[in-house]
Every structure is written in C-alpha cells, then in structure tokens.
Amino acid sequence: MPDPRIMPLKEPDSVQEYRLVALRPFVRQSGDDMRPPWYIGERSLFDYLLVYIASGEGVFTLKETVFPVREGDIFWVPPDTPHSMRGSSRVMNCVYLHFDLAYDPARSHWNAVIPGGLTDLSAWPERMHPPLDDAQIKGWSGILDYKGRKHDILSLMREACREHRRCKGHSLRLGAILIEIIDQLIRNTENADDSSYWNRQMDEAAFYIRNNAASIKSLASLALRFKCSVSHFRRLFTARHGIAPHKMLQDCRIKAACELLAYGNANVSETAARCGFSSIYSFSRAFRRETGISPKNYRL
C-alpha cells in the first residue's frame, strides 16, 4: 500500500525531457569590461553569444535588423547568424558570455575569436554548434523581451564571468550557473501577449528620455508621444523599468549636468539651461538633492 506521506512525482513533459537531455552548457569566453567607443564589424559565430548592457548605449545589428541598445538590454546572438556591434557612448559596460548549449568534447574547446568581416563559416562545419530542437530557444534573437527582474540575469552573468576567470576554463559550477541563466530566460520570455507592445513602447520611451532629457518639456508631452494618458504612461513605465518616468528624466538631467560641470566650461546658469531646467534655482535644488553638494562645489 502506498505511503500517503510520499507525494507522487510529476513526470516531465516532452519539452522538459528534451531540455534535460540536450542542455549541457559550456562557456568558451566571457567578459565584464568598461569600453570606450568600439566596433565589431559584421561576423558570424560558431557558438551562442549573450550580452547584457550594464551601462552605456550603442547599436547592434542581427541579420538585417538594427537594434539601438542601452542599459538593461539583454541581447542574444544564435550561431551562424551575421551580426555587428557598436558602442557609441563615452563608456559602455558589456557583460558577455560565448557558450555552447550542447557540450561536445570534439567541438566545444575551440574558442578562437571570430574577427569582424568573417560571416561565411561553411568551411568549418565540424565547429558549428548543431541546431536545437527547442521552439522557444530557437525563437530567441536580438533584444529579448524579458519580463523578469533583469538584475537577476546581470548578477548571474557576472558570477559566471568570475567563475570562468577563476577556474581558467569550465567547471561544473559554471555549467550550473549557465543552466540557471537559461532557466531564467525560459521562464521569463515565454507566453508573449499584448503587453509585449507596451513593453516595447516603454523601452522606446526610456531610450528617448536618455537621449533627449534636456528637450523634454513635461511628462504630458512624453505620454502624448507614446499615445497614452499621463497616468497610464506613468504606470506602464514604472512597471517596466522599476523607476518612475519623471525620476529617470531627472536622473538623466543631473547626470548630463555632472558631465558638463566636470568636463565643460559652461557656468552653473548655462548648465541648468542646457540640461533642461527651468531655472537655476530648481536646478540647484535638484542637484543638491541628488548629489549632496551644490553645482558650484561639484565643479571644485
């Protein structure tokens, strides 16, 4: 007679069964670095590439699609897919992992860097990662529509980079971290619905704020630009980015002011005007609230 205290095990479905057998990740290369403006010309890869934009912005292409990328974006490049990458901000922090999802000792240890300009890899079929029979993972490309907490992915990727550097290659722990990253991506990118449209709109809104903070007149003008009411815009934006739109706008203006004060010759009044503040008084109050010191003392 079965023991009633023992819960019956739920058998995995066919997709889970396939993933349990097929996913054997192996990290080839990793990095977490600060970069001045940079460029990698169009190329293809033998393995997968996952990039997290921790700070800064740029423009990536995948096949013929152009992706403006900025802080918080998660970018996925499948094998044998032409792509190029450019960092356009003064400093950009990219956290990246080159990896196989299905380890093969005869293939996976080749980890030479593919230079820009090399897109035809047909001369080396034995080095190409085989296709995965997984509909969801096969659908990943470009900026992922990730609905979970992006900081969790960033933390895991940085942990993977540290482990890869520490063990000077692969380890069981590194493979486990990669499995956790893939699991997070699977659980937070499936079941796309109508919210995907508004997620894309709010991503565009954040990009617009970061690039046009000085010229934005009001939150109402932003909401109008993205075709919704002020209250709806505020709610959608905050849910998507974890920060209210007016706070992001203020942060971008203060950041621009710090750049001008540190590297430019404009006085405090000119800096306030150039960064979109209505008066030197509102600028000084906001600057002191965010930095703890006055604009004049910051320059010192």
The enclosing domain of 32 has a CATH number of: 2.60.120.10
Structural domain contains residue 233: yes
Structural domain contains residue 205: yes
Output the pTM of the full model: 0.63
**What total of structural domains would you count in the chain?**
2
Q: HSE of 42 in the Cβ direction (CA atoms, 13 Å)?
A: 10
Residues 174 and 283 reside in one and the same domain: no
Residues 212 and 128 reside in one and the same domain: no
Domain that holds residue 185: 15-189
The enclosing domain of 285 has a CATH number of: 1.10.10.60
Residues 147 and 265 reside in one and the same domain: no
- Three-state secondary structure readout of 89-147: CCCEEEEEEEEECECCCCCCCCCCCCCCCCCCCCCCHHHCCCCCCCHHHHCCCEECCCC
Report the candidate in 195, 191, 206, 190 with the shortest Cα–Cα distance to residue 242: 206
Domain termination site, one of 189, 215, 241: 189
Residues 238 and 207 reside in one and the same domain: yes
Report the candidate in 71, 27, 49 with the shortest Cα–Cα distance to residue 177: 27
Structural domain contains residue 9: no
Structural domain contains residue 4: no
Residues 147 and 208 reside in one and the same domain: no
Structural domain contains residue 31: yes
Report the candidate in 29, 59, 67 with the shortest Cα–Cα distance to residue 41: 59
Burial 200-209 (b: 16+ CB within 10 A, else e): ebbbebbbeb
Strands (E) in the chain, as ranges, are 26-35, 38-43, 48-55, 57-62, 65-70, 74-77, 83-87, 92-100, 142-143
**299 Cβ contact list (under 8 Å, min separation 6):** 261, 262, 268
Structural domain contains residue 8: no
Residues 165 and 230 reside in one and the same domain: no
Structural domain contains residue 5: no
Residues 26 and 175 reside in one and the same domain: yes
Report the candidate in 132, 176, 171, 157 with the shortest Cα–Cα distance to residue 21: 132
Domain termination site, one of 133, 167, 189: 189
Residues 137 and 275 reside in one and the same domain: no
**201 Cβ contact list (under 8 Å, min separation 6):** 226, 227, 236
Domain termination site, one of 189, 218, 239: 189
Instruction: Provide the residue-wise pLDDT of the chain in tens; the chain has 300 residues.
Output: 455 555 555 666 788 888 888 899 999 999 999 999 999 999 999 999 999 999 999 999 999 889 999 999 999 999 999 999 999 999 999 999 999 999 999 999 887 789 899 999 999 999 999 999 888 899 899 999 888 888 899 999 999 999 999 988 888 999 999 999 999 999 888 644 445 667 778 888 999 998 888 888 889 998 888 878 888 899 999 999 999 999 999 999 888 888 888 887 888 888 888 888 888 888 888 888 888 888 888 766
Residues 36 and 182 reside in one and the same domain: yes
Give the length of the chain. 300
Residues 218 and 185 reside in one and the same domain: no
Residues 112 and 252 reside in one and the same domain: no
Residues 150 and 213 reside in one and the same domain: no
Structural domain contains residue 180: yes
Phi, psi of 212 (to 5 degrees): -135, 25
